[in-house]
Structures are given as structure tokens and as C-alpha cells.
């Protein structure tokens, strides 16, 4: 009995320590009043000319949210510019620690001429809008239904911010495209293998 209580106490302590290392973002579901050229509360624009859109509604995009009422749309342009948003984390990613997270992604074929598939990239950085470590990157997103994408990374350094950016499927040329994001999870601490 004493061994069982000791084991239970150890498991509970380890679980609480792991929960303390979880990292949260504000407004992970990008909730807000649907509007074009608007950054959701809790987020800020990072790239010059970043004018993300809170969906559904603007630019002919009427897909329902995967979670909550709204989601965010980011675009790339044919002048080699793209949109990105960022946020200060609830607590920093700690150097040499592992984190796992997921986000729901989709793409619209009715985004006012910005209808080509693009990819998502997520960066960690020490300062606002800095991109020091690429922590997630997708292939191009060309599906209209929501799909959940899972990621895992180990922080190379201590980082206080993330940047979420729309990006071209190749660096060779720029074009008009879009990506839709919803339901960003917590960054859950994970044991490294």
C-alpha cells in the first residue's frame, strides 16, 4: 500500500510539473468580429502590409469555423509579400525542452483572387516579430475542409514570441494564395525521446 501511495504521489508531482511547462496563447481560436484587414485581439501584425482577415464573411469566404465562431485568413501576394501575425507567449519556450501542438488548417478557392494553395510556417523568437527558429512548416494546403495538423519541436533557445506566417510553396516565385487557421492548441510540454 505504501509503495502504491508513493508511486501515485510521484506520478501526480510529475504531471503537475509538466503542466507548469505548458505554454499558452491568447485567443487561440482567432475569435473576433468578422472583418477584412483586422488582427484578432491578442495578436499583432508582423510583416509589412499584413492585413489578416477575421472570417467568415470578408472576401467571399463563408466556410464555418472549425472551433468557435471565427478564424483567421492569411494571404500571399504576387509582389513577393505575405502576411504574418505574432503574439507574446504566456511563458517562454524553455531551451532544450520539447513541445507538441496542433492547429486546424484549410484553404479557400473563393478568396477574391487569392485562391492558390500556400503553406503555413510558425516561428519562435526572443523578441516581437523575430523569426529565430522554425518550429512548424506544412506542405501546401489545398483542401477545403478543416484538417488538424500536429507538430513537435525542441526549443533551441529560450523564446518569448511566436510568428505565424503564410508562405509560398516554393521560394522560386511569388503568387496570390491563402490559408485559413483555427483552433491553435496549447504548446504542451513533452518528454524528449
With beta carbons less than 8 A apart as the criterion, state whether 70 and 54 touch: yes
User: If we measure between CA atoms, which residue out of 81, 167, 86, 82 comes closest to residue 128?
Assistant: 86
- What the chain holds in terms of domains, given with CATH numbers, is 2-190 (2.60.120.260)
Residue pair 162/24 in contact (Cβ under 8 Å)? The answer is: no
- The phi-psi region of residue 30 (left if phi > 0; otherwise alpha if psi is between -120 and 50; otherwise beta) is left
What's this model's pTM, rounded to 2 decimal places?
0.88
Mean pLDDT of the chain: 90
pLDDT single digits (tens) 58-93:
999 999 999 999 999 999 999 989 999 999 999 999
- Please tell me the predicted confidence (pLDDT) of residue 9: 43
**Ordered alpha helix ranges (H), the chain:** 2-20
Cell, residue 88: 507574446
Mean pLDDT value across residues 22-48: 95
Q: Please give the Cα distance from 40 to 141 (Å, whole number).
A: 22
Mean pLDDT check: name the lowest of 47-56, 80-89, 157-166. Answer: 47-56
Amino acid at each position: 500500500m505504501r509503495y502504491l501511495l508513493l508511486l501515485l504521489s510521484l506520478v501526480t508531482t510529475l504531471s503537475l510539473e509538466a503542466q507548469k511547462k505548458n505554454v499558452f496563447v491568447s485567443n487561440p481560436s482567432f475569435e473576433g468580429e468578422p472583418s477584412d484587414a483586422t488582427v484578432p485581439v491578442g495578436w499583432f501584425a508582423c510583416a509589412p502590409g499584413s492585413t489578416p482577415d477575421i472570417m467568415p464573411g470578408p472576401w467571399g469566404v463563408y466556410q464555418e469555423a472549425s472551433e468557435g465562431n471565427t478564424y483567421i485568413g492569411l494571404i500571399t501576394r504576387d509582389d513577393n509579400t505575405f502576411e504574418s501575425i505574432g503574439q507574446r507567449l504566456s511563458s517562454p519556450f524553455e531551451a532544450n525542452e520539447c513541445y507538441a501542438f496542433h492547429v486546424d488548417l484549410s484553404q479557400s478557392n473563393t478568396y477574391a483572387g487569392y485562391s492558390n494553395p500556400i503553406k503555413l510556417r510558425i516561428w519562435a523568437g526572443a523578441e516581437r516579430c523575430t523569426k529565430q527558429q522554425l518550429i512548424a512548416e506544412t506542405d501546401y494546403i489545398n483542401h477545403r475542409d478543416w484538417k488538424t495538423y500536429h507538430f513537435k519541436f525542441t526549443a533551441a533557445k529560450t523564446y518569448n514570441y511566436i510568428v505565424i506566417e503564410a508562405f509560398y510553396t516554393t521560394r522560386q516565385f511569388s503568387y496570390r494564395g491563402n490559408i485559413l487557421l483555427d483552433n491553435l492548441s496549447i504548446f504542451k510540454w513533452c518528454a524528449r525521446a
